[in-house]
């Protein structure tokens, strides 16, 4: 006579479904993304921190510079990207800190999938949070400074730039979070390395806002693409070394 416990622990059918490696990978990746979104939806920790910080930064810029409809687009895009860069580090830091603090990273690392699934899952989660903040900041900025920021080209730049930022940022925040000096370390590590993204994003953004021809803007877009591709590959290869012991 089996006890209820024995019944539960003795499953007749295989507990783990037999599926392909690719679908295992994608399922693990999407599980990580879903988990980050679900947890964030409950606590709204990351989002509120990033959002409030971004708004404060934009407000401060108002007193530092004169931002209005007559402002040159290069200044506008500069302000926007500085805001994104700084708010972004908050999100990256927090996202990894959650995993580290309760040892949850180990839980993720125990999963029977390639480690990169976890990495990409985190990247996509971080990217989504960053997009949400950016998409809200744009109309807020437009309203506060009476500037029209509704520009599909601008959105493209934000997409490409954020991808590069988050790809490198997730890798570096995984390291930073394991150091004693965790909070200040991430910007110090990240900013020198993401300068190409920064320059290209600011230039391309102001190009679109000024309505320049594509041939003036495309070198910057190409640079963003190249950076994104190269660093996705590099991060993919290096992530394992950061989480193994």
Partner 1 sequence: MESKPRLLSILDVVTALMLLAATALVFFYAPVEAVMGQVQKVFYFHVASGWVGMLSFMTAAAAGIIYLMRGSSNWDIVGVAAVEIGIAFSFINIVTGSIWARPIWNTWWTWDPRLTTATIMLLIYLAYLMLRSGIEDPNRRARFGAVYAIVGFVSVPLTFFSARLFRTIHPVVIGSNQPGAEGSFDMTPLMLQVFLFSLLTFTVVYADLLWHRIRLGKLAEKVEQLKLKTMS
Partner 2 sequence: MKMIEVRKLVKRFGLKTVLRGLDFEVQQGEFVALLGPNGAGKTTFLRILASLARPALGEVFIAGYRLPDQASAVRRHLGVVSHQPLLYGDLTAEENLQFFGRLYGVANLNRRVQEVLELVGLAGRRRDLVRTFSRGMQQRLAIGRAVLHDPQVMLFDEPHTGLDQDASAMLDQVLREVAARGRTVVMTSHDLARTADLASRFDILSRGKITASVRRSEIDPDQLLAYYRQSLEKA
180 contributes a contact to partner 2 by CB under 8 A: no
DSSP assignments along 136-191, one per residue: HHHHHHHHHHT-----HHHHHHHHHHHHHHHHHHHHHHHHHTTSTTHHHHHHHHHH
Judged by CB under 8 A, the stretch of 32-40, 54-62, 144-152, 166-174 that binds partner 2 is 32-40
CB closer to partner 1 out of 6 and 245 = 245
Question: What residue ranges bind partner 1 (CB under 8 A)?
Answer: 168, 171-172, 175-176, 178-182, 185, 188-189, 192-196, 199-200, 203, 216, 219-220, 223, 226-227, 230-231, 234-235, 238, 241-242, 245
100 contributes a contact to partner 2 by CB under 8 A: no
- Answer for which of 42, 148, 195, 215 binds partner 2 (CB under 8 A) is 42
CB distance 164 to 220 below 8 Å: no
CB closer to partner 2 out of 14 and 192 = 14
- Answer for which of 58, 67, 108, 137 binds partner 2 (CB under 8 A) is 108
Q: Is the dihedral of CA 227, 194, 192, 118 positive or negative?
A: negative
200 binds, among partner 2, partner 1, none (CB under 5 to 8 A by kind): partner 1
CB closer to partner 2 out of 27 and 182 = 27
33 contributes a contact to partner 2 by CB under 8 A: no
DSSP assignments along 75-143, one per residue: HHHHHHHHHHHHHHHHHHHHHHHHHHHTTHHHHHHTSSS-HHHHHHHHHHHHHHHHHHHHHHHHHHHHH
Minimum CB separation from partner 1 for residue 188, in Å? Answer: 5
Minimum CB separation from partner 1 for residue 146, in Å? Answer: 26
215 contributes a contact to partner 2 by CB under 8 A: no
111 contributes a contact to partner 2 by CB under 8 A: yes
Could you say which DSSP state residue 71 is in?
A: S
Q: Any idea which residue has 């622990």 for tokens?
A: 9
Cα(first)–Cα(last) distance of the chain, in Å? 45
How far is 124 from 122, CA to CA, in rounded Å? 5
Question: Which residues touch 241 (CB under 8 Å, ≥6 apart)?
Answer: none
Pair of tokens at residue 219: 């070198």
199 binds, among partner 1, partner 2, none (CB under 5 to 8 A by kind): partner 1
Residues binding partner 2 (CB under 8 A):
3-6, 8-11, 13-17, 19, 24, 27-28, 30-32, 34-35, 38-40, 42-43, 98, 102-104, 106-114, 244-245
């Amino acid at each position: 006579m089996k006890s209820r416990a024995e019944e539960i622990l003795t499953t007749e059918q295989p507990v783990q479904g037999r599926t392909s490696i690719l679908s295992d990978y994608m399922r693990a990746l999407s599980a990580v993304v879903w988990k980050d979104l679900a947890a964030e939806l409950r606590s709204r920790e990351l989002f509120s921190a990033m959002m409030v910080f971004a708004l404060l930064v934009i407000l401060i810029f108002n007193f530092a510079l004169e931002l209005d409809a007559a402002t040159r687009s290069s200044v506008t895009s500069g302000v926007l990207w500085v805001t994104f860069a700084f708010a972004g580090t908050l999100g990256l830091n927090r996202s990894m800190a959650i995993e580290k603090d309760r040892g949850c990273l180990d839980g993720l690392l125990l999963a029977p999938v390639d480690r990169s699934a976890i990495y990409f899952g985190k990247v996509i989660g971080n990217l989504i949070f960053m997009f949400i903040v950016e998409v809200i900041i744009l109309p807020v900025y437009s309203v506060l400074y009476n500037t029209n920021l509704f520009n599909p080209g601008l959105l493209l730049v934000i997409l490409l730039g954020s991808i590069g930022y988050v790809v490198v940022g997730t890798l570096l925040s995984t390291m930073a979070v394991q150091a004693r000096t965790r909070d200040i370390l991430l910007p110090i590590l990240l900013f020198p390395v993401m300068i190409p993204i920064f320059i290209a994003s600011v230039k391309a953004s102001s190009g679109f806002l000024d309505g320049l021809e594509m041939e003036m803007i495309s070198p910057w877009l190409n640079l963003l693409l190249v950076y994104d591709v190269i660093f996705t590959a590099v991060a993919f290869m290096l992530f394992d070394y950061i989480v193994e012991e």
